[in-house]
Homo-oligomer: A and B are copies of this chain.
Amino acid sequence: MKKASPPRRASIVSIGNELLSGQTVSTNAAYLGERLFAISIPIVSSYTIGDEIDSTVRALKLASSDADIIIATGGLGPTDDDLTRQGLAKFLGVELQLHNELLDKIQNMFARRERPMPERNKIQAYIPAGAKAIDNKLGTAPGIMAESNGKLFFVLPGVPSEMKQMFEESVLPELQRFAGSQAIIIRKLKCFGTGESNIAEMLGDLMQRNRNPLINCTVEHGVITLCIVAAAKDKNQAEKMAEKDEKLLRNILGDLIYGVDEQTLAEVVGEKLARQNKKIATAESCTGGTLAKLLTDIPGASRYFTYGWITYSNDAKISQLDIPRDLINKYGAVSEQVAQAMAQQARKKADTDIAIGITGIAGPDGGSEQKPVGLVYISVDTGSGCETRRFIFHHNRDSIRLRAAQTALNMLRLRL
């Protein structure tokens, strides 16, 4: 294969009835997307089809009209509904050929498991004429690599563990030779504290589609990810462009940016607590342990997290945190006063530097005109002062609870 100069592009074909009927969520395409993106081969399209020879032929045609590298997964098993190798052979216009060395391997694999090879596994030793087998260390089905009209085709099993092992060991080294003349660098900035459209407003023209670096924006549970994709002739230049944009975004967004790449709020807060050698306690009502769970999701959380209370009932608030019953009667359990008392009492009882109190109405029931579902008070007591804020969160119970816990972490982050 000649070293072509235009940038390489890839297309994915995922094959399997179970993918269409929703019995399986395919993670293979996302995995391949991320791995290929990292070597500057963007995926431009992805097709999911059922286990049929003609669908396979059609999808391979479409994929090869989009891209020079086509990776198909699934349909290499031994059962009658696995028809990908037949589909590939038909697409290439060649016959399937039995490879005795592959048959030996498959028989040996069964022998090691002390089982006879079922007759139907023999099909896995067939490869389209002119194509090559790709070794499968974890299962019986070898993969297939073929070249046609200057395009490269890889067919891998659908089982994620086998697919990944074979991709990393056999496909990736092959592709790295073709990693285009274009270098792509990706930087992710994680933001919290405002909405997607607000961020877009702040960034203005920077988010234009024809810009390089391209800035993409995705949002999940209130965390906004800005993805800077810089393309240049060489890696160095792409890195410089991405760096320049990162600075630009940091100038505009300031402390809305809490981290980079895959960092979570809990991770960033945990790092700050550990670095500053501070301990934290939590007192939760409506979030019912969500905040403590997020904090302790992080390995090594015991360096800073010591105590947590889930005072779900009024009695628990009174008996465990000594919140005065009068305070609850006067202002209600969901109030600024009770949130603040929860934080202050937790800090005192746990003898920590910091404590967070959360009280609110997660719903779906329990709301009123004055105190609607979604109303949450969050109080952060850092010893040098107690900040208590009122929020109205939306959507549903899960979302209200998660946003409340994340917002508490964000309030704390801004004070550390």
Contact = CB atoms under 8 A, between A and B. Distances in A.
Interface of A: 12, 16-27, 29-37, 42-51, 55, 62, 77-81, 83, 113, 115, 118-121, 138, 140, 159, 161, 186, 195-198, 200-201, 207-209, 216-219, 225, 227, 282, 284, 287-293, 295-297, 299-302, 305-313, 315-316, 319-320, 349-350, 362-365, 392, 394-399, 401
How many monomers of this chain does the complex have? Answer: 2
Contacts of A19: 29-30, 33, 46
A21 B227 CA distance: 11
B288 A292 contact: yes
Contact of A35 (B22, B55, B296): B22
B299 A306 contact: no
B306 A296 contact: no
Contacts of A349: 319
A320 B227 CA distance: 45
A161 to B, nearest CB: 6
Nearest to A124: B197
Contact of A306 (B29, B31, B312): B312
A311 B307 contact: yes
A398 B297 contact: yes
A230 to B, nearest CB: 14
A289 B308 contact: yes
Contacts of A30: 19, 22-26
B289 A200 contact: no
A37 B48 CA distance: 16
